[in-house]
Amino acid sequence: MADSSIASANSPLYAGRRRRNAIAKGLALAATIFGLGWLVLILGILLYKGIGGLSLSVFTEMTPPPGSAGGLLNAIAGSLVMTILAVLIGTPIGVLAGTYLAEYGRHDKLSSVVRFINDILLSAPSIVIGLFIYEIMVAPMGHFSGWAGAVALAVIVIPVVVRTTEDMLTLVPDTLREAAASIGLPRAHMIVRIAYRAAQAGIVTGILLAIARISGETAPLLFTALNNQFWSMNMNAPMPSLPVVIFQFALSPYEEWQKLAWTGALLITVTVLALSIIARSLTSARKSS
Amino acid sequence: MAAGERDVSEVVLKGTTVTASEAASRSAVLKRLRLTDTIFHGLTRTAALTVLALLSGVIIALVIGAAPALGTFGFSFFFDETWNPVTEKFGALAPIYGTLVTSAIAMLIAVPVGLMVAFFLTELCPMVLRRPIGIAIELLAGIPSIIYGIWGLFVFAPFLQQHVQPFFIDTFENVPLLSTLFAGPPYGIGMFTAGLILAIMVLPFVTSISRDVFDAVPPVLKEAAYGVGCTTWEVFRYVVLPFTRVGVIGGFMLGLGRALGETMAVTFVIGNAHHVSASLFAPGTTISASIANEFTEAVGDLYTSSLIALGLILFFITFCVLAMARYMLMRLEKRVG
């Protein structure tokens, strides 16, 4: 027995296994560096190209006509308005639907169907959502509008909020619910006063993640809100948004426009990354406490 | 629940002596509570049904919108390469082909790399670094696709055009199959570039799902394998991977769903040419890029309807892929939980 163990330690078989192990480990490390390298590369170039164009005029001036300088004020304002409206429309529906899945119908047949469909919506191509809103809002109304853009974004918000609300409510211990029920609290009150409060941070995280998701969405806005060269707060008219302006400006041959596109791209990325970092720290603070 | 409340109220009424007015106000309160409970239940149910309505709405709207085009061209719509707005003759072959080719390139790169990163994160990485690297990879997933697009157009495509593509073209000039795949000229933009950018975008999805799935492997299994003398790689290859296979494939499908439907990043670098070319370096188009590029400029009902029909095809493909992904992830969850 002792002989065979010594033999196996030096055998070609064992050496081969060790070599394969080392190669696999090396490849794994290389793959990780490769993956992280893209993040560094993309953010680095974005900073380099975007920061040059960053000045006060970006926030105070309108998008310029071709060949002249200007800012992104109307695009930023349009994005803000549509994002806020989308969150106002999408969050209540999302939270309520998530509540149903976690509280009333946790083991329902309906819930498993809704859960499945919601997961599909969560990763459905956003351009298809744009087509859908075009068909039901833009075509019947006869014109592109800020409302259509906001509703398209809301459709993207809903599945994100449904998912996180359900997940977070499921994490609330059942003993809390039982305690509430035992003192005679009706279910609705138990949910609103106990379960929501316990899951608060998680639900807010879901909403923040949804905002992060829609603030960079371009495809669903292309043919719902369209774009607008001027300041417009009229929700019934085409409305500018930062992503669509970036799309238009980046593909243009004008240098000033391309520069503004990079600056806009930097603004969006910083917003999105900040939102997701805040969202993450909210949940991790909750977990550790 | 409702039955339980009634019992409680009856016990209270029997067990204590209460005046008639107190009893009346109590039952009024209980009635109100029960009513709000019913209303709230109804509200949440309606919201849940809204989610179903949304998906059915998407399907119905797309089918209605696509009907004129599909009615005019019939089945040949799927196999026709022509895309001519002037003569109003449309076929979906080029976009479908482009979508499949770019997604295939993306998955070919993202799957092995993503698996190895997940292997590194779950088995090799020092504990202190696990969270930061995991978060960094997830941040990569959060970057909006338009950022990848603008970066791809101005930075990545020129780089590929000047350095990578000429190299491929020269190297494989005399190799039979590969010389067709990598035929020049190097435009920079095209299916190859789009596929690479998609790979970068899909990588974090594949990685984070694989990592979550690998983390779900019961430690006992791994410890047992280490106990009989397996190397780290052998534990991963022969214990972790077989155990999580369903979930890992589900994760791939989720990534594939994302690659198929990805719009902006591709639109920037695909070149928007309705051609089916054997060369990966040739400009092409994908379903989503065609819609994004042409929809607002589409004149005429047939043109618009053809684009919506493209959207319907895309939705159908992604629906199948995503449904399969969810089914597989659910199966794994059942086994682990």
Interface test with B, best of A38, A83, A165 (most B CBs within 10 A): A38
Residue of B33, B43, B147 lying closest to A96 (CB–CB):
B43
Q: Which residue of A has its CA nearest to B301?
A: A139
Give the mean pLDDT of chain B: 87
Contact residues, chain A, for B125 at CB < 8 Å: 32
Q: Say if residue B4's pLDDT is above 50.
A: no
Contact residues, chain A, for B231 at CB < 8 Å: 17-18, 20-21
pLDDT value of residue B165: 87
Residue of A104, A127, A215 lying closest to B292 (CB–CB):
A127
Residue of A120, A216, A226 lying closest to B323 (CB–CB):
A120
Smallest Cα–Cα separation from A72: which of A280, A223, A242?
A: A242
CA distance B288 to B310: 8
Structural contact between residues B266 and B157, judged by C-beta atoms closer than 8 angstroms: no
Q: Which residue has the tokens 């979930």?
A: B247
Residue of A30, A39, A97 lying closest to B139 (CB–CB):
A39
pLDDT tens-digit map of B41-87: 999 999 999 999 999 999 999 999 999 999 999 888 998 888 888 88
Contact across the interface for B260 and A125, Cβ inside 8 Å: yes
Structural contact between residues A58 and A71, judged by C-beta atoms closer than 8 angstroms: yes
Render B131-166 in DSSP notation, one character per residue: HHHHHHHHHHHHS-HHHHHHHIIIIIHHHIIIIIHH
Contact across the interface for B48 and A17, Cβ inside 8 Å: no
Strands B89-90 and B83-84: antiparallel
pLDDT tens-digit map of A152-203: 999 999 999 999 999 999 999 999 999 998 988 888 989 999 999 999 988 9
Put simply, whether B232 touches A (Cβ < 8 Å) is yes
Contact residues, chain A, for B37 at CB < 8 Å: 186-189
Put simply, whether B261 touches A (Cβ < 8 Å) is yes
pLDDT tens-digit map of B118-132: 999 998 888 888 888
Contact residues, chain B, for A184 at CB < 8 Å: 5, 8
Residue of B136, B145, B315 lying closest to A39 (CB–CB):
B136
Count how many pairs of residues, chain A against chain B, have C-beta atoms within 8 Å. Answer: 272
Q: Which residue has the tokens 């090396």?
A: A26
pLDDT value of residue B203: 92
Q: At B276, give phi and psi (nearest 5°).
A: -100, 110
Distances, alpha carbon B50 to alpha carbons A97, A121, A162, B218, in Å:
8, 12, 11, 38
Contact residues, chain A, for B51 at CB < 8 Å: 97, 114, 117-118, 121, 158-159, 162
CA distance A269 to B144: 7
Q: Say if residue B336's pLDDT is above 70.
A: no
Put simply, whether B295 touches A (Cβ < 8 Å) is yes
Q: Say if residue B296's pLDDT is above 90.
A: no
Residue of B133, B237, B296 lying closest to A36 (CB–CB):
B133
Put simply, whether B54 touches A (Cβ < 8 Å) is yes
pLDDT value of residue A1: 41
Q: Which residue has the tokens 């439907």?
A: B261
Q: Say if residue B248's pLDDT is above 60.
A: yes
pLDDT value of residue A64: 87
Q: Hey, what are B273's tokens?
A: 């040419």
CA distance B320 to B289: 20
- Calculate what percentage of chain A has a pLDDT beyond 70: 94
> How many angstroms away from the CA of A274 is the closest CA of chain B?
10
Contact across the interface for A218 and B143, Cβ inside 8 Å: no
Contact across the interface for A181 and B4, Cβ inside 8 Å: yes
pLDDT value of residue A289: 39
Q: Say if residue B30's pLDDT is above 90.
A: no
pLDDT value of residue B306: 93
* pLDDT range class, residue B3, cuts 50, 70, 90: very low
Contact across the interface for B120 and A28, Cβ inside 8 Å: yes
* pLDDT range class, residue B26, cuts 50, 70, 90: confident
pLDDT tens-digit map of B110-120: 999 999 999 99
Interface test with A, best of B50, B146, B201, B240 (most A CBs within 10 A): B146
Put simply, whether B27 touches A (Cβ < 8 Å) is no
Put simply, whether B133 touches A (Cβ < 8 Å) is yes
> Which of helix, strand or coil describes residue A288?
helix
Contact across the interface for A38 and B140, Cβ inside 8 Å: yes
- Helices in B182-240 by DSSP H: which ranges? 191-215, 219-227, 232-235
> Which of helix, strand or coil describes residue B90?
strand
Complex-level ipTM beyond the 0.90 threshold = no
State mean pLDDT over B157-175: 86
> How many angstroms away from the CA of A74 is the closest CA of chain B?
19
Stretches where chain A sits below pLDDT 70 are: 1-10, 285-289
Contact residues, chain A, for B139 at CB < 8 Å: 39, 273, 276-277
State mean pLDDT over B31-47: 92
Name the residue with higher pLDDT: A192 or B174: A192
Beta bridge partners of A221: none
Output the pTM of the full model: 0.89
> Which of helix, strand or coil describes residue B106?
helix
pLDDT value of residue B337: 56
Q: Which residue of A has its CA nearest to B42?
A: A100
Q: Which residue of B has its CA nearest to A265?
A: B147
* pLDDT range class, residue B1, cuts 50, 70, 90: very low
Contact residues, chain B, for A83 at CB < 8 Å: none
Contact across the interface for B147 and A268, Cβ inside 8 Å: yes
